[in-house]
A and B are shown apart, each in its own frame.
Chain A
Amino acid sequence: MKIGVYVCECGSNIASTVDVDKIVEEAKDLPNVAVSRVYKYMCSDPGQELIKNDIDEYDLDKIVVAACSPRMHEATFRSVLEDKGLNPYVLEIVNIREHVSWVNSDKDKGTEKSMALLTGAVHRSALMKPLERKKVGVIHTALVIGGGIAGIQAALDIANMGYKTTLVEKTSSIGGKMSQLDKTFPTLDCSQCILSPKMVEVNRHPNIKLLSLSEVVAVDGYVGNFKVKIKRNPRYVIEDKCTLCGDCLPVCPVIAHDEYNQGFSPRKAIYISYPQAIPASFIINPDDCLGIDPLICTKCKEVCGPEAIDFDMQPEIIEEEFGAIIVATGFAPYPIENIGEYGYGTIHDVISGLDYERIVSASGPTEGKILRPSDGKIPETVVFIHCAGSRDPSKHLPYCSKICCMYSTKHALQYKHIVHNGTAINFYIDIRTAGKDYEEFYQRAAEEDKVIYIRGKVSEVLKDGNQILIKGVDTLSGETVELHADMVVLATGITPSEGTKEMASLMNLAVDINGFIREAHPKLKPIDTAIAGIFIAGTATGPKDIPDTVSQASGAASKACGILSQDELEIEATVAIVDDSLCRGCGMCAEACPYSAIEMQVINQYGHSTRIAYVNEAMCKGCGSCAAACLNGAINQLGYTDSQILALISALGGD
């Protein structure tokens, strides 16, 4: 065996605190070392050439490089080995920059530590074996979970790039929260008008399969090869047959609260949630309907001309395979029922921001007139409370929900545009207008439209006869403020939706302390999750406005297509491997695995059926948690086997 040792000076980065010449000399005496050299920049072309020449000249079969972190140049040096026909996994990198020279100013100690690390590496190198990179096939279809604006955008982008996409939506229509909004900041363009063209496009796109009323119930497999079970709940109306004629509406005897209008208007048990809904079909809500058991009532079925109603529909489970998954499961507003200081949602005229969106919307319960819920009168004074339940670590959400400053400003402005003589007062902690044209929008509300802004929190909101008593503080003047208003709108924050929580637990996606899905890296991998092939878009990862959501959705689509466009995916060779004869089937490795890559299987061995661990190499990330957890030493991580690590440790100990 012949090992080549290469020490990098990294300009003065390493050489100033490590005596590189000394360690190069000493390395020559280490076992199996055939050649040992120093160079100013090992990563440069001449540096790489140096190694290549030596491989030819000395017939080297292992390489040790002492330089910077393997995160920087492992790939560079591996390709050097591959060029010369060596296996890329017989390279060992010793990090004497980040681990030694950058964190130490004593040259003697730095040299000593570098030499110890290098000795360990040479001993480990002797035990390294060539490893094979494996390949898996890719299924060229994508799954998008969640039919809000994030899911819609992601599905459209993937479909437009030519890949089949399945879009799964839990409710009866796609569109999500954006479909409930009246206007969007800062341009004040109508939310439905910019959203519905995209919804229609989803519906007629040949590459998109839309599954409404559906939920993902199981996800198995790995990048390129996910096996997914989707439960389709019955609509009781055949989508293709329903013509939206509405003949069923007058005959349906049931009246329920309309969820789309936040409960402010009635709907029948058979209904369409809003005129632009996609799929464009009525639905029967089985919880409201009397006639799912048709003995009681079949009125709608009797009048339905196209015979679209089918009480016998059953839930069905669809099993499909996908190459990539995008999770776009969105948010739920923080419930005003949690906010005691503002009345726990018991005061009729204290409403949430989303309630207000419906009240101010032309398609809403009041047809765009601003009327308060208790008595239908036009409120003369409306108070908008920012950060209702946000930025309050002691009682509510600790974080800023990002969109509330802007939507409250928009709400106040809309109120002033409709009720010209009215008074709109915003209580705020800080005004955060970090977005394109956002600050200008706020200035316009405050200066042109005379919206009043008071800096301070509202401590209490109390019912006082027909009015609402608001007690707060103006922190700019230091005075306490008490005033009466006719209506209060609470700018409630963004929390992870039930769907987001369910999907995170179903797919073992890491979540942050607030329940949002955690990105693989908060800055540099904001769209990836820790699981390869699963991407995130929209508010499932945290509060976002519409532009950010749409951008992230397009990013996720492009990431997904990066997988779908491959015929095969290469998997890292440094995966865990089980020695069947040593494994006793305790399952501790499966518990330790953060990527769900290990499952326990029963096999026939020595004439008995025994339980042993099985590693799915496509899912394994080579972290080594299982190898550390295994009491029997039955799991080894290729490239970092126990014998290699022990050789390294005993060399470090000066043995």
Chain B
Amino acid sequence: MVQYSYFPGCNLKTNAKGFEKSALAVSKQLDAELVEMPNWNCCGTVHTLVSDNLMKRIAPTRILSRSSKHVEMLENSPKEVVTLCSMCNSTLKVVNKDIKNDESKLEPINFQLEFDEEEYKKDMEVKHFLEILRDSVGYEKIEKNVKKPLKGLKVFCYYGCMLLHPDEAKIDDEEMPAVLEDLSESLGAEIIFSPLFKYCCGSYHIVDQEDIVNTQVQKIIQSAKQSGANAVVVACPLCAYNLDAQQKLMEKQGQDKELLPIFYFTQLMAIAMGEPININHFEEHHINPKKLLKKLKLI
């Protein structure tokens, strides 16, 4: 059994509860338990990426420092902080690399952290849960834990941007990634390739220019359907929200009737590995995935 210091971030506690709960459940089954770190704060999100202002990097550095202490209390825990959200992963990785390479940046941040009785010692690595599954757990072990192979599920693996960019934060090859495909395959699902697997979902434009998101999502879903997919698997809460909510909107406007349910990769794992269905919080999805799962006799 290995325990990992897990940093949730805001989305996982609000509109992606199913993502977190399914992840925690399967992590236990795979002997790679995610244990929530105490006293965490916002990852710092987009602020850290658009500015070189060190103030903006205090939040992520404090997480790294606290996680480092948390690791000491866990069982067989490597010096790694694990994230589920693509944005948190990207933010923490970028900042971690940046301050590790530049002592002059870390020094003033650590000076500020003294008020919290924290000091970051450059001893942590940031890992996305997908990296843990691929590199530490291994697909073989996942395959062994599959109780109900996802037969009939034709998944289009959608990456979006933050898992693959920027260069310091990418978890796989930015041009032709394979981690989601390999994982889904080990769960028994059929992989459907569509060229728009990293096409932008519209991202934060959902806040001010919804029409942009609408156009993007339409293209992505159209292309996936043409390729023969009946479900989409994602890793990012924002991608999930955009793809999910916009499809529902299109249905309401009468543009589209055939909707593709959106799954987090951990939800697919939970189903395949026989976890109770309610941990997925499918009731919070705009498109109810249960319909498809019932049709395929997976629940």
Chain B residues lying within 8 Å of A346, measured Cβ to Cβ, are 176
Interface membership of chain B positions 174-206, coded 1 if the CB is closer than 8 angstroms to chain A and 0 otherwise? 111000000000000000011110000000000
B91 to chain A, nearest CB (A): 22
Interface residue ranges of A327-357 to B (CB < 8 Å): 340-341, 343-344, 346
Residue of A nearest to B199 (CB): A471
Check if B176 sits within 8 Å of A344, measured CB to CB.
Answer: yes
Find B176's partner among A343, A464, A465, A469 (CB 8 Å cutoff): A343
Q: Give the nearest-CB partner of A484 in chain B.
A: B195
Residue-wise, chain A 442-485 has the 8 Å CB interface mask toward B (1 for contact) of 00000000000000000010111100010000000000000000
Residue B145, interface by CB 8 Å: no
Bound: A492/B254 CA distance, A: 47
Partner of B195, one of A340, A341, A344, A469: A469
When the two chains form the complex, which single residue of B173, B174, B175, B226 contacts A465, counting CB atoms closer than 8 Å?
B226
Closest beta carbon of chain B to A460's beta carbon, Å: 8
Closest to B194 in A: A464
Identity of the chain A residue whose Cβ is nearest the Cβ of B175 in the assembled complex: A340
- Bound Cα distance from A469 to B223, whole angstroms: 11
Q: How far is the CB of A600 from chain B (nearest CB, A)?
A: 43
Q: Which residues of the other chain, B, contact A343 by a CB distance below 8 angstroms?
A: 175-176
Tell me whether A340 and B223 are in contact in the complex, defined as CB-CB below 8 angstroms, given that A462-B195, A463-B195, A469-B195 are known contacts: no
Check B227–A344 contact: CB distance below 8 A.
no
Range of interface residues on A (Cβ < 8 Å): 10 to 19
CB nearest neighbor in A for B167: A394
Cα-based distance from A346 to B176 in the complex (angstroms) = 10
A654 to B175, CA, bound (A): 68
| One of B176, B194, B196 near A340 (C-beta < 8 A) | B176
Q: How far is the CB of A545 from chain B (nearest CB, A)?
A: 31
B175/A463 in contact, CB under 8 A: no
Chain A residues 170 to 228 lying within 8 A of chain B, measured CB to CB, are none
- The residue on B at minimum CB distance from A464 is B195
A341 to B226 Cα, complex, angstroms: 23
Q: In the assembled complex, how far is the CB of residue A416 from the closest CB belonging to chain B, in whole angstroms? A: 27
- Residue of chain B at shortest CB distance from A343: B176
A394 → chain B, closest Cβ, in Å? 9
* Complex CA distance for A469 and B174, rounded to whole angstroms: 17
Q: Once bound together, how far apart are the Cα atoms of A343 and B176, in whole Å?
A: 7
In angstroms, Cα B195 to Cα A463, docked, is 6
A344 is contacted by which of B175, B193, B196, B223 (Cβ under 8 Å)? B175
Query: Least Cβ distance of A341 to chain B in Å?
Result: 5
Instruction: Enumerate chain A residues within 8 angstroms of B223, measured Cβ to Cβ.
Output: 464
Query: B174 — which chain A residues lie within 8 A by C-beta?
Result: 340
List residues of chain B with CB within 8 A of the CB of A463. Answer: 193, 195
Rounded to whole angstroms, the CA-CA distance of A462 and B193 in the bound complex is: 10
Interface string of B236-275 (1 = CB under 8 A from A): 0000000000000000000000000000000000000000
| Interchain CB contact under 8 A, A341 and B175 | yes
A465 / chain B contacts, CB cutoff of 8 Å = 226-227
How far apart are the CA atoms of A460 and B223 in the complex, in Å? Answer: 16
The number of chain B residues touching the other chain, given as a range, is 10 to 19
Bound-state CA distance A343–B197 (Å) is 13
Q: Give the distance to chain A from B154, nearest Cβ to Cβ, in Å.
A: 15
Smallest CB separation, B176 vs chain A (Å): 6
Minimum CB–CB distance for B181 against chain A, Å? 14
Chain A residues in 8 Å Cβ range of B227 = 465
Complex Cα–Cα for A460 and B175 (A): 8
Q: Chain B contacts of A341 at CB under 8 A?
A: 175
Once bound together, how far apart are the Cα atoms of A463 and B174, in whole Å? Answer: 16
Which residues on the B side are within 8 Å of A462 (C-beta)? 195-196
How close is A84's CB to chain B, nearest CB, in angstroms? 67
A340 lies within 8 A of B173 (CB): yes
- Chain B: which residue is nearest A467 at the CB level? B195
Q: In the assembled complex, which residues on chain B have CB atoms less than 8 Å from the CB atom of A340?
A: 173-176
Q: Nearest residue in A to B173 (C-beta to C-beta)? A: A340
Across-interface contacts of A344 in B (CB, < 8 A): 175-176
Question: How far in angstroms is the closest Cβ of chain B from A464?
Answer: 4
Residues of A within 8 A of B193 (CB): 463
Chain A nearest CB, measured from B142 CB (Å):
25
Residues of A within 8 A of B173 (CB): 340
Q: Which of B173, B175, B176 has the most CB of A within 10 A?
A: B175
Question: From B219, which residue of chain A is reached at the shortest CB distance?
Answer: A482
Q: Which residues of A contact B196 (CB under 8 A)?
A: 462
Distance (Å) between the CB of B198 and the closest chain A CB? 8
Chain B residue contacts of A464, Cβ below 8 A: 194-195, 223
A355 CA / B173 CA spacing, docked (Å): 26
In the assembled complex, how far is the CB of residue B241 from the closest CB belonging to chain A, in whole angstroms? Answer: 24
**A344 and B174 alpha carbons, distance in the complex (Å):** 12
A185 to B170, CA, bound (A): 43
Measured CA separation A343–B195 after assembly (Å): 11
Q: Closest approach, in angstroms, between the C-beta of A484 and any C-beta of chain B?
A: 10
**Complex Cα–Cα for A205 and B173 (A):** 54
Q: Which of B200-246 contact A (CB under 8 A)?
A: 223, 226-227
Q: How far is the CB of B170 from chain A (nearest CB, A)?
A: 11
Residues of A contacting B175 in the complex (Cβ-Cβ under 8 angstroms): 340-341, 343-344, 460
In the bound assembly, the distance between CA atoms of A462 and B227 in angstroms comes to 13
| Chain B 148-180 interface mask (CB, 8 Å, partner A; 1/0) | 000000000000000000000000011110000
Report Cα–Cα, A462/B175, bound state, in Å. 10
Q: Which residues 486-543 of A have a CB within 8 angstroms of B?
A: none
Residue of A344, A346, A462 with most partner-chain B CB within 10 A: A462
B190 to chain A, nearest CB (A): 17
- Distance of A462 Cα from B223 Cα, bound (Å): 12
What distance in Å separates the Cβ of B221 from its nearest Cβ neighbour in chain A? 15
Closest to B195 in A: A462
* Bound Cα distance from A344 to B226, whole angstroms: 24
Interface residues of A in 303-340 (CB under 8 A from B): 340
A347 to B121, CA, bound (A): 46
CA distance A284 to B195 in the complex (A): 43
Cα(A599)–Cα(B232), bound, Å:
68
Q: How far is the CB of B192 from chain A (nearest CB, A)?
A: 12
Q: Which residue of chain B has the shortest Cβ distance to A463 in the bound complex?
A: B195
How far, in Å, is A94 (CB) from chain B's closest CB?
Answer: 48
Q: Which residues of A contact B194 (CB under 8 A)?
A: 464
Query: A343 CA to B196 CA in the complex, in Å?
Result: 13
Q: How far is the CB of B101 from chain A (nearest CB, A)?
A: 18
Residue of B nearest to A468 (CB): B195
Nearest-Cβ distance from residue A487 to partner chain B, whole angstroms: 16
Chain B residues with CB under 8 A of A469: 195
Whole-angstrom distance from the CB of A343 to the nearest CB of chain B? 7
User: What's the Cα separation between A463 and B194 when bound, in Å?
Assistant: 8
CB-CB < 8 A to B195: which residues of A?
A: 462-464, 469
Q: How far is the CA of A346 from the CA of B226 in the complex (A)?
A: 21
Q: How far is the CB of B225 from chain A (nearest CB, A)?
A: 13
- B176 contacts which chain A residues (CB < 8 A)? 340, 343-344, 346
Docked complex Cα distance between A341 and B175 (Å) = 6
Q: With the chains together, A123 CA to B173 CA distance in Å?
A: 67
Q: How far is the CA of A249 from the CA of B8 in the complex (A)?
A: 67
Listed by A's residue number, 21 A-B pairs whose Cβ atoms lie within 8 Å are A340-B173, A340-B174, A340-B175, A340-B176, A341-B175, A343-B175, A343-B176, A344-B175, A344-B176, A346-B176, A460-B175, A462-B195, A462-B196, A463-B193, A463-B195, A464-B194, A464-B195, A464-B223, A465-B226, A465-B227, A469-B195
**Apart from A343-B176, A469-B195, what are 16 other A-B pairs with CB-CB below 8 Å?**
A340-B173, A340-B174, A340-B175, A341-B175, A343-B175, A346-B176, A460-B175, A462-B195, A462-B196, A463-B193, A463-B195, A464-B194, A464-B195, A464-B223, A465-B226, A465-B227
5 A-B pairs closest in CB distance: A340-B175, A462-B195, A464-B195, A469-B195, A341-B175
